[in-house]
Amino acid sequence: MSRFVDANLTLLADFYELTMANGYFHEGISDQVAYFDMFFRHVPEDGGFAIMAGLEQVIHYLSNLTFDQEDIDFLESKNIFDKGFLDSLLHFHFSCDVWAVPEGTPIFPGEPILTVRGPVAQAQFVETMILLLINHQSLIATKANRIVRAAEGRPVMEFGSRRAQGGDAAIYGARAAVIGGCVGTACTIADKQFGIPAMGTMAHSWVQMFDSELDAFRAYARLYPQNCVLLIDTYNVLKSGVPNAIRVFQEEVIPRGFRPGGVRIDSGDITYLSKQTREMLNKVGLTDCSIVASNSLDEVIIRDILAQGAQVDSFGVGERLITSKSEPVFGGVYKLVAVENGEKIVPKIKISENVEKITTPGFKQVWRLYERENGKAIADLVALAEEKIDSAKAYELFDPEFTWKRKIIHDYTIKPLLKPIFYQGKCVYKSPSVKKIAAFCKEQIATMWSEVLRFENPHRYYVDLSQSLWKLKHQMLEKLSTPN
């Protein structure tokens, strides 16, 4: 269960959400139906894609959103809110519809990844927490997947709790890391809450607490012979760490009927030390003893040391993963895109001199198109919600900025990405387990072309607009930019 349910975090909202809600109440439009999209504008680290994560926590938050008397008393003390507005909050019940892209799905800039439809005061108010939860976990899941792909099939463990920016960042960061492909975490409570395997053996302090490194290794091996991984860099990796580990494996682990779990190197030149360690282990027949590397790793360092021939079987990655140190912001935004006037959906648009900040109006669906023969993703198509795409017919895609770039596709399959999550405030979606999300994520990434997966200068995956949506957007731009 999410800790966001256990605490009353209703007021974890930007203050202007409340001043606007009060204003909507004052103007008598609190219940006017509005549509808001969450989307992002830039893939972290100029990567080819990001990964959707954090939806389960959004569901928990929206399912338990209420104002208690303490909240009302606090807001009343600000002396700016209408009494009637505050009274209405005591009877607040979330009643919006929500659609979202499932967790683990590769996502791209400019396309809606979550849409909220409902009374404007409600749909506006939930902005802060939706952005907080999805921005954070999508950032960490995306970073984790970069690191996992750099490891080229070697297991990666998330070791970052102590460097995370707060307790929730550690817990949900661990969750997101597993969605991105990590096999486990050092964060014990993440195991308790989400069933993520908690992993870890010893710190340098364990070795220092004994009279000798050998004594420390012996004690640990006698306690945990079934998974004996020894930290070998407390004093000297090659002169004492490896020799003592070998001796303990031969005298304490193997005689008890187990095989050595491995050795971990947490400092120094990982490439050189792992090569020498591998050679020493192999000489005494411990070819199945794994070598684990940690120490401020990320995808760049992992890729480089493997290219240099490092003999590492798995990685523990901490601070640079849990904080996404190289680019620690996932820039998701939440914008009004339509309102309802009776039964009519009236599109809304935000215009900016910064072209990337111009929004795409209307109530929309996102479709992912795949080549039928090999299952590879061709492009994403953002269309008005009422549009139907017939995959039995050829379809012409075009670049929404450079419209002369066009492609007619045949023999394709198509699926909608935005799934119903809430209907009239009731959750209609069951979140899969983290392990199932991680497996789904792996499957979905396999549908991406290798050119999209590149770390440097990846191929730009196309997110196109339907002809109808493109026409609507440009008609609105022309109308609103023309002087009265």
Say which residue, 484 or 192, is predicted with more confidence.
192
| pLDDT tens per residue, range 370-417 | 999 999 999 999 999 999 999 999 999 999 999 999 999 999 999 999
Which residues of 186-273 form beta strands (DSSP E)? 229-231, 262-265
Q: What is the mean pLDDT of residues 176-186?
A: 98
* pLDDT at 324 > cutoff 70: yes
Alpha-carbon distance of 221 to 21, in angstroms, equals: 61
Chain-wide mean pLDDT for the chain?
Answer: 96
How many CB atoms sit inside 10 A of residue 315's CB?
A: 27
pLDDT band at 7 (very low <50, low <70, confident <90, very high): confident
Alpha-carbon distance of 72 to 90, in angstroms, equals: 7
Alpha-carbon distance of 156 to 292, in angstroms, equals: 10
Kindly tell me the burial class for residue 6, based on how many C-beta atoms sit within 10 Å of its own C-beta (0-12, 13-18, 19 or more): exposed
pLDDT at position 222 is 98
- CB within 8 Å of 484: residues ≥ 6 apart: none
> In terms of residues, how long is the chain?
484
How large is the greatest C-alpha to C-alpha distance in the chain, in angstroms?
Answer: 89
pLDDT at position 358 is 94
Q: What is the mean pLDDT of residues 133-152?
A: 98
| pLDDT tens per residue, range 256-296 | 999 999 999 999 999 999 999 999 999 999 999 999 999 89
Q: What is the mean pLDDT of residues 428-445?
A: 98
Phi/psi at 331 (5° precision): -85, 50
Structure tokens at 93: 């019940």
* pLDDT at 484 > cutoff 70: no
Give the helix, strand, coil percentages of the chain, each rounded to 5: 40, 20, 40
In 1-50, which ranges are continuous DSSP H helix? 3-6, 15-27
pLDDT at position 2 is 45
Q: What is the mean pLDDT of residues 172-193?
A: 97
Phi/psi at 154 (5° precision): -80, 140
Reduced to 3 states, what is the DSSP secondary structure of residue 316? strand
pLDDT band at 483 (very low <50, low <70, confident <90, very high): low
- Type and span of the H or E element at 246: helix 242-248
* pLDDT at 4 > cutoff 60: no
Structure tokens at 322: 């849990």
Q: What is the mean pLDDT of residues 332-336?
A: 98
pLDDT at position 6 is 62
Question: Of 173, 179, 175, 167, nearest to 192 (Cα)?
Answer: 175
Burial 366-382 (b: 16+ CB within 10 A, else e): bbbbbbeeeeebbbbbb
Q: What is the mean pLDDT of residues 206-228?
A: 98
Question: Of 309, 279, 280, 362, nearest to 34 (Cα)?
Answer: 362
- Type and span of the H or E element at 303: helix 299-307
* pLDDT at 249 > cutoff 50: yes
Residue 459 vs residues 43, 49, 141, 452, 453: alpha-carbon distances, Å: 12, 10, 20, 5, 8
How far the first Cα of the chain sits from its last, in Å, is: 54
Q: What is the DSSP string of 356-412?
A: GGPPPPSSEEEEEEEETTT--EEEEEEEETT----TTS-EEEE-SSSTT-EEEE-SE
Residue 399 vs residues 112, 319, 351, 378: alpha-carbon distances, Å: 17, 39, 20, 13
- CB within 8 Å of 237: residues ≥ 6 apart: 265, 268, 273, 276, 277
| pLDDT tens per residue, range 80-123 | 999 999 999 999 999 999 999 999 999 999 999 999 999 999 99
Contact by Cβ (8 Å): 458, 92: no
Q: Which domains, ranges and CATH numbers included, belong to the chain? A: 3-140+328-481 (3.20.140.10), 146-322 (3.20.20.70)
pLDDT at position 58 is 98
Alpha-carbon distance of 150 to 301, in angstroms, equals: 9
pLDDT band at 355 (very low <50, low <70, confident <90, very high): confident
pLDDT at position 1 is 41
Question: Of 216, 229, 291, 292, nearest to 260 (Cα)?
Answer: 229
Phi/psi at 98 (5° precision): -135, 135
Alpha-carbon distance of 103 to 417, in angstroms, equals: 11
